[in-house]
Each structure stands twice: as C-alpha cells, then as structure tokens.
C-alpha cells in the first residue's frame, strides 16, 4: 500500500541562503538571473521550455495575510500558535467549536483581502507564455482569482468551501458564514463591533492585541479566554436529509437542535474547511495532478515558501530528479535547498538555477517589466511602442523555441 502524503509542518530552523549566481544579491542582478532562468532553452530536448511555479504563504503577505514562518524560520505571528490537527478536528466536538469560532472571526478579514501585485505578475508571466501552471500551498484562492487562465493546483485545498467528512459534498464558505452568524448571535455582535471599530482590519499586532484579538494563518483569529464552548455550527445539509451509511453498514445518526446546530448525539455529517489540515492526507487526485503539473514543465520556480511541508518539498525533489533547473525566491532559508543547487556550473548566469533571498512583492512586477523591455528589444521595436498582450505571448514563445 502506498504511504499517504500528509500535510505536516517542519519546524526546525533553516540555514540562511546563498544567492546564486552571486550577482543575484542585488535587485538588478536578481532580475537578470531570473530572466536567464525563465528564457533559457530546455535543459534537455525532452523537457518543455515552460516553467511551473510552486508558491507559498509569503506571496500573500502583501495582501495582509499572515505567513507561517519569518525570515529566521520560526513561526512569525504568535510563537505559541499551533494549528489544529485533522484528527483533533474529527475526534472532538469541542475542538470543532473552537476552530469554527475562530474561523468565523477570521473569515471577514480573509474575504476582504485580495490578490496583490505578485499574483498579477504571475498572470502576466502566464500571458507571456513563460509559466504553464501554478502549484500553490496557499488556501486563500488568490491565484485562481488573479489568473483564471493560468491553471492553479491548490495542493492544500481552499477556504472558499466547506466539505462534509461523511459524504464529501462541498458547500460555499460564504453561506456557511451566514449560518454561523445565525446560530451564534452573541459572537456575531462581537464580530460586527470588531469590524466597525477596525480591530480586525488593523495590520498592527499591538492594536489587535489591545482588542483581545490575535491573527494566525489560514483565517484563524484567536480570542484568548473566549467562551468557545458556547459556539454552534451547522450539520451537513445532505447528510441531515439522508443520513449516510457507516463503515459497518448501519445508518449514521445526524441530529441537530431546534435551530439547526449539529448535536453531539450525531456520528456523521460534520463539515470541515475544504483545506488539507495538518496531519491530513492530500487526496490522491490532487497529489497526481500536482505531479503532472511538475512533469508538464521543464523548470521549477519556487516562490515565497520555505517548503516546510513535505508535500511541497517532494515536488521540488521530483523536479530535480527529472533534471529540471530550479529557481527559488524566498526570504530566508528553504528546506534542503543546497541539494537543488549542488550541480550548478560556476559562472552560470541563472539558466541552470537561481537563488534569490528577496520578497516576491516588488521583485515579480519588476521582473515582468524587465521581460517586457527585453521583448521590445528582441522584437526590434521602439521601446516606447506598446506591445499588445497577444504579441507579447508570441514573442516569448518564439524566444523559448
Ligand atoms: Zn454530508
């Protein structure tokens, strides 16, 4: 039997990176190296000229979302923050109350957040024909929102839906939020006040703390000493209408109180976020699709992730084993990164591999601009003459052949 692929965080400190080539220490050097990387011909004739991206939480920081790790490789936001594990969520009604209460408070901030310039730069790289697909560990849906035309594989799922742990049916998170508000009027009043006073919107952790609020990744908001035990959440409507069969063949019990809140007398119909929780296995179809995204490209560019989860790291390993050049843009160390660059020829300009120790926020839009200028020079056009997006794509496709 194949070993299931689980989402497990890697919390050991990571060594600081060495920029590659050495010129990639400066912004112009990094831009030149990344251009060489994206435009280099395939490393082997059987590899595609296109690049697949593997992205992580750092890309969404400019959208106001929390990152898991800081530059020194430790959990950045709250040193004591520990995400809920799948087995806890499944096993404990109390753990689920706590999870959904915090998610209820976090959803409004997540919903108000939007893709940033980094995501739109990915869209532009796709339009240029340089990026064939994105594999992301992020659950914020920013990639599919920013570039629906560049396929995105969401390795760890998405927060925009809930999924039933019994029937696997999916439901929109937005409607679920309305159900939570209806079932928890006191919490809803608190949330409305927090929104009205801006306590949830502030970037300043001190201001949040003053309001008794702590923000964590994945739309999790913590209210120290809050009465989580009073929180109520709905049952899966499908399983409530038609209780599923249990593994032993008997009919499951799905019961709700007078208002429709899941009752602890139930043994099925539990909704969870449609994310792969820590300690949960990645669905086989997602695992296969991620591998196909890697295999469909000739290069891998890792953006804004330390690849702390094994599920992400093994995709980079797969790319390396296929002989694909690997580029990494991330502030701070990346798990096992030395192995990805051990074979680079001294003096290579970026075509064989790139390591940039910078934020993607301004780097990616600058890279798009540089590529546009190069395409103008390559096409022999006046640098003042605008190139349409269609032409732009054709020019880069020609350059890659
Ligand atoms: Zn169900």
Contact present, 107 and 173 (Cβ < 8 Å): yes
DSSP 323: T
- Residue 64, CA distances (Å) to 179, 272, 366 in order: 26, 24, 21
Tell me how long the chain is.
401
pLDDT in tens, 49-68: 999 999 999 999 888 876 65
Side-chain-facing half-sphere of 43: CA atoms under 13 Å:
20
Contact present, 356 and 329 (Cβ < 8 Å): yes
52 bridge partner residues = 133, 300
Give the closest residue to 272 by CA, choosing from 243, 234, 309: 234
Looking at per-residue pLDDT, the higher value among 261 and 374 belongs to 261
Q: Answer yes or no: is 246 a known binding residue.
A: no
Domains belonging to the chain, first-starting first, are 22-65+116-156+281-400 (3.40.50.1220), 86-112+160-275 (no CATH)
Say which range, 230-244, 314-328, 371-385, has the weakest mean pLDDT.
371-385
CA pair distance 215, 203, nearest whole angstrom = 10
Alpha-helical segments (H) within 113-212: 117-127, 142-146, 173-183, 185-197, 205-210
Q: How far is the CA of 173 from the centre of ligand 1 (A)?
A: 15
Residue 79 confidence (pLDDT): 55
**Set 143, 147, 156, 206: catalytic member:** 156
| Surface-to-core class of residue 310, CB atoms within 10 Å of its CB (0-12 exposed, 13-18 middle, 19+ buried) | middle
Residue 108 confidence (pLDDT): 85
What does the CA dihedral 88, 288, 144, 140 come to, rounded to 10 degrees? 20
Q: Tell if the pTM clears 0.85, that is, is over it.
A: yes
Looking at per-residue pLDDT, the higher value among 28 and 7 belongs to 28
Contact present, 99 and 87 (Cβ < 8 Å): no
162 bridge partner residues = 171, 273
The pLDDT-based confidence of 354 (bands split at 50, 70, 90) is very high
Q: Answer yes or no: is 72 a known binding residue.
A: no
Q: How far is the CA of 111 from the centre of ligand 1 (A)?
A: 25
Catalytic-residue membership of 156: yes
pLDDT in tens, 206-248: 666 666 666 666 667 777 667 889 999 999 999 999 999 999 9
SS3 56: coil
């Amino acid at each position: 039997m194949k070993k299931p692929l689980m989402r497990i965080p890697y919390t050991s400190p990571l060594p600081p990176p060495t920029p590659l080539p050495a010129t990639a220490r400066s912004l112009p050097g990094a831009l030149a190296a990344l251009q060489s990387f994206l435009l280099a011909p395939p490393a082997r004739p059987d590899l595609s000229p296109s690049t697949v991206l593997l992205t992580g939480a750092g890309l969404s920081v400019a959208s106001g979302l929390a990152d898991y790790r800081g530059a020194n490789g430790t959990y950045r936001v709250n040193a004591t923050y520990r995400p809920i594990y799948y087995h806890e969520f499944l096993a404990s009604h109390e753990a689920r109350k706590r999870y959904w209460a915090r998610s209820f408070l976090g959803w409004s901030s997540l919903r108000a957040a939007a893709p940033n310039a980094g995501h739109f730069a990915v869209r532009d790289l796709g339009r240029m024909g340089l990026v064939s697909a994105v594999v992301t560990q992020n659950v914020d849906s920013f990639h599919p929102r920013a570039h629906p035309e560049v396929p995105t594989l969401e390795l760890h799922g998405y927060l925009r839906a809930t999924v039933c742990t019994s029937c696997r049916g999916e439901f929109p998170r937005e409607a679920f939020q309305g159900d939570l508000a209806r079932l928890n009027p006191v919490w809803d009043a608190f949330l409305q006040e927090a929104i009205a006073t801006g306590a949830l919107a502030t970037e300043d952790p001190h201001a949040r703390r003053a309001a008794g609020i702590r923000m964590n990744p994945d739309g999790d908001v913590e209210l120290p000493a809050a009465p989580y035990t009073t929180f109520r959440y709905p049952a899966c409507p499908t399983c409530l209408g038609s209780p599923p069969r249990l593994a032993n063949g008997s009919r499951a019990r799905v019961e709700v109180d007078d208002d429709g809140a899941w009752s602890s007398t139930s043994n099925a119909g539990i909704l969870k976020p449609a994310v792969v929780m820590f300690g949960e296995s990645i669905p086989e179809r997602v695992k296969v699709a991620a591998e196909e995204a890697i295999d469909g490209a000739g290069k891998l560019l890792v953006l804004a992730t330390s690849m702390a989860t094994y599920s992400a790291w093994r995709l980079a390993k797969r790319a390396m084993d296929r002989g694909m050049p690997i580029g990494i843009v991330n502030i701070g160390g990346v798990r096992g990164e030395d192995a990805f660059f051990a074979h680079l020829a001294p003096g290579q300009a970026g075509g064989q591999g790139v390591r940039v120790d910078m934020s993607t926020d301004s780097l990616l839009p600058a890279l798009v601009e540089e590529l546009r200028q190069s395409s103008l020079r390559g096409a022999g056009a006046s640098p003042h003459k605008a190139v349409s997006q269609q032409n732009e794509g054709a020019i880069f496709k020609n350059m890659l052949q």
